[in-house]
Structure 1
Amino acid sequence: MTGHPIAAITGLGFSALSRKPGSSVRRLACDAVRDAAADGGLPLSSIDGLLLNRSPIEPFETLPLSVRRDLGLGDLRLLASIEGEGSSVVQMIQYAALAIQAGMAERVACVFADAPITANVNAGKTFAIALPITGIEDWESEIGFLGAAPAFALVAARYMALYGATPEDFGNWAIAERQWAMLNPRAFLKKPLSMDDYLASRPIARPLRMLDCAYPVNGAVAFIVGKVEVAAAARPPVYIHGMGQGHSGCPAFSDHEPEFDNGAAMAGRIAYAMAGVGPVDVSSAQFYAPFSCAGIVALENYGFCKRGEGAGFVSAGNIAPGGTLPVNTGGGMLSGFYLQGATSICEAVIQTRGEGGQRQVTNDVVLATGLGGRQEHHGALILSPHASLT
């Protein structure tokens, strides 16, 4: 990187995170934005942009643009609801950075909020909706192909068939995330996890087990993105050096492998090139990985190992504490908590600031990613505590 950072993340905020029914999505979002402003030492009145993101399965009214009034914000120079499925949190930060660079705004709050657990419905039922993968109307519903787990089970099964991966390979991903979660006060699952424990967990959609799957919570996370020149002194600035997106256009029936040939590699290439770095320069990676198999595929698509080598890379201990590439150091989505794209980005900010406590790792260059749909939508950020990467 020889140029100037694009923008900086100057505030990080959380609402209460819970596995119990409670506050509305709107209230959670407002709590997180207020916390982010306080974290950055900023008055709410200094925010002149607001970007919102809710779960794509929720209606617009769940988190409407009128949230600005809930927060008591004045006139805004930027206001939008962003929808890019699981890549949306990355996209919010990207669009905020671009707007700031263009002079449209100076400080933009970006917030994701979700409350999948209600008094009458648990998270499993909330997400048990048809995920179209064929383009044939109602086909998935008719055969009971509900939720993301069956779709990602096809990814895992294909990976096993092509590259000889075993259940233990997926288990090693889950165990590594649990090891990191045990070092994170905010993580939800901290009980030590053995391979026997993993193999004994019940099947969800073969070959995926319960411990291969994300752990949803109710909550919100917000980020304040600002001009580099006015980065608040309350917290170390997190400089945004690279950004990229990639959205798969390959048809399901082609020479491509749709389970693996997705937009992640494109997003990574663009972000690496913008920052002037490569995978070899990355200190830690924070992946959107709602299932163990998605994390293994991400390692390959973002250039940390070759196609088919991701399972072996994980099984060799590389992503776990003490490994060569710390990955999902907050416990990830399997043991930390699942708030869609916010999970990976908040841990990236914490690590980049050097505020990881017992789990803190080298933070010169941090990769953070988002993933949406059945791996069709990807976003990537290259973050650093350094204003220059040269």
Structure 2
Amino acid sequence: MATERTATPVPATGDVPRTDDAGPVPAARISLDAVITLLTHRPISLYAASVLRIGYGLCYLVFLLREFPHRDEIWGPDSPWTPALATRLFDQTGWFSFLTLSDSMVYFDLCYLAALAVCALFLLGWRTRAMSVVFALVVASFHARAIFMTDGGDNLILLMALYLTATACGRRWSLDARRIARRARTGRPGRWALWRATSDLWSQFGMARECLVTALHNCGMFVIAAQVCLLYGSAGLYKVQGASWQAGTALHYVVNLDLFRPWPALSALLDSYPLLLTAVGYLTVLIQVAFPFSLFSRLKYVLLVMLLGMHLSIAVLMGLPLFSAAMIVADAAFLPDRFYRAAARAAARALTGLRTPEPMTSFRRIPAVPRQPDNSRPLGQDAGPVLATEPVPEPGRPARAEP
């Protein structure tokens, strides 16, 4: 018995095939549209970007203030690494530093004071878009002037300062955000709002500018996250290749280095527990390797807490506060905005409670009032007078009516 076959109709030459069929081209188009929407529709992690701005601005401000008595020995004209040697190195590496433009001590002091002012303004978020570029120039200039005295913390701050120039890190918790909010409350439109209202050309220009700023911000935050993941992943993989890390004895040698022993008694105490040091060493490698793979799970928050403890231990035990602070601030980029909003609300409630405490009610004794005779009691069992105590209202507050 032959099987009946149905012929499949063949579309004519001029027919257009359906575009809603599942296939690689529509799927790729949908994915591309989703990526473009993600990059240009809404800026992500605005609070995290503001935390990065505040954190790195504060770190470098404290760093420059701490080294203020030794500024001439590190970056000044009388430094062992003279401006002439630095300029010769710049010819080979392509670096630049405005500190080498003059050998005058007055010029150097003025540059140092200007760098302190730039760090403070960047921390506060004043004209953040322009100030972020100036802050990156300051960090790059000081880094290049004494490049042989830098460490991993300086390198990370330099990279983050360059990345923050592309982000909108001044839209939250900044003087710029406060100025925009005040302008919105008073009803006075901003510069871009006036231009958009005048003509269609300015309207199109404003929309294009907003899309460009959003795309740059989102790309900058993605690059920052990728940089931190690369840092942790490479550090963990390099530790895996080391024989001392494989044997679990790496931290034993670390706590016995005189260069990294600010508290010798504490380092000796830790060295007396070799099993603990071995466990901490293996756990450190595991955390660093696992962190890039935990970004899309809740395990990320557990690892962030453990990384916070690790960096605080490095700051105390090894005497590297700048490096630890730079890493802690970088880890803050992975916390969601809802965490920072909740933290801000909790801090606001705590400050409000401290500023306006609840008024305390004072008490006083009033004269005894004889009790009215109770006909339901037998004769001779009257309770007698009662001493009543009632709250006295504060001045200006009405007394509470008793039911």
Greater fraction strand: 1
* Structure number with higher relative contact order (C-alpha < 8 Å, ≥ 6 residues apart): 1
TM-score by length of 2: 0.23
Greater fraction helix: 2
